[in-house]
């Protein structure tokens, strides 16, 4: 993880301002922020956040376990930097995901597996309509993330 963080930070320090000033990147980042907000709003509305908090506090949680951070690539970490996230240099809890903090995930841009994961507990406690609405919001978020990350990859190739 240290190497990925170093690369993401290096790219951001070298090209971050230029990226933020690119009209397409700026538009995509704003759209992505809105989709992330909508996912969280929908998750709160249908009780997902409450249930996940209960699971983490009462049962120790399991979805943010150690090793999940290995799914993240440099581009997703770079997106977080572009969104203003301060990436941790070491994990808060060495038994959990590198990006898990005392109040949940420290990232704004999460890996698709983190966004889309719905455990059996959630299926049992959230209404069918709620699951559908949450999945719809999650899909919009991950689709937008894909477009942004693909554009950034092309942008980086063009600016080598």
Asked, for residue 160, whether it belongs to a domain, the answer is: no
Question: Would you say residue 103 has pLDDT above 80?
Answer: no
Q: Model-level pTM?
A: 0.90
Asked, for residue 122, whether it belongs to a domain, the answer is: yes
Asked, for residue 73, whether it belongs to a domain, the answer is: yes
Specify the residue for token string 């930070």: 9
CA-CA distance, 109 to 48, in Å (whole number)? 18
Question: CA 70 → CA 3, 80, 85, 149, 154, distances in Å?
Answer: 11, 16, 18, 17, 23
Structural contact between residues 108 and 85, judged by C-beta atoms closer than 8 angstroms:
yes
Asked, for residue 102, whether it belongs to a domain, the answer is: yes
Q: Tell me the average pLDDT across 77-98.
A: 92
CA 117 from chain centre, in angstroms, equals 12
Question: Would you say residue 76 has pLDDT above 90?
Answer: yes
Question: Measuring CA to CA, which residue among 73, 84, 72 is closest to residue 30?
Answer: 84
Specify which of 42-51, 74-83, 112-121 reaches the highest per-range mean pLDDT. 74-83
Question: Would you say residue 113 has pLDDT above 80?
Answer: yes
Q: Tell me the average pLDDT across 34-63.
A: 84
Range of the domain at 143: 2-152
Asked, for residue 36, whether it belongs to a domain, the answer is: yes
Asked, for residue 158, whether it belongs to a domain, the answer is: no
Asked, for residue 157, whether it belongs to a domain, the answer is: no
Between 62 and 21, residue with greater pLDDT? 21
Q: How many domains is the chain built from?
A: 1
Asked, for residue 33, whether it belongs to a domain, the answer is: yes
Per-residue pLDDT band for 60 (boundaries 50, 70, 90) equals low
Least confident of 24-38, 45-59, 88-102: 45-59
Give the chain's radius of gyration (CA, Å). Answer: 16
């Amino acid at each position: 993880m240290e190497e990925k963080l170093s690369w993401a930070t290096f790219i951001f320090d070298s090209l971050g301002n230029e990226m933020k000033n690119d009209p397409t990147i700026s538009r995509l980042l704003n759209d992505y922020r809105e989709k992330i907000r909508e996912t969280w709003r929908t998750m709160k509305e249908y009780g997902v956040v409450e249930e996940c908090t209960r699971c983490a506090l009462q049962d120790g949680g399991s979805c943010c376990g150690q090793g999940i951070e290995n799914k993240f690539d440099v581009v997703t970490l770079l997106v977080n930097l572009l969104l203003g996230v301060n990436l941790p240099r070491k994990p808060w809890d060495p038994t959990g995901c590198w990006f898990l903090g005392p109040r949940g995930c420290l990232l704004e841009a999460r890996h698709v597996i983190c966004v889309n994961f719905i455990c059996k507990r959630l299926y049992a406690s959230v209404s069918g309509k709620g699951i559908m609405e949450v999945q719809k919001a999650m899909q919009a978020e991950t689709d937008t993330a894909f477009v942004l990350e693909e554009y950034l990859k092309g942008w980086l190739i063009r600016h080598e």
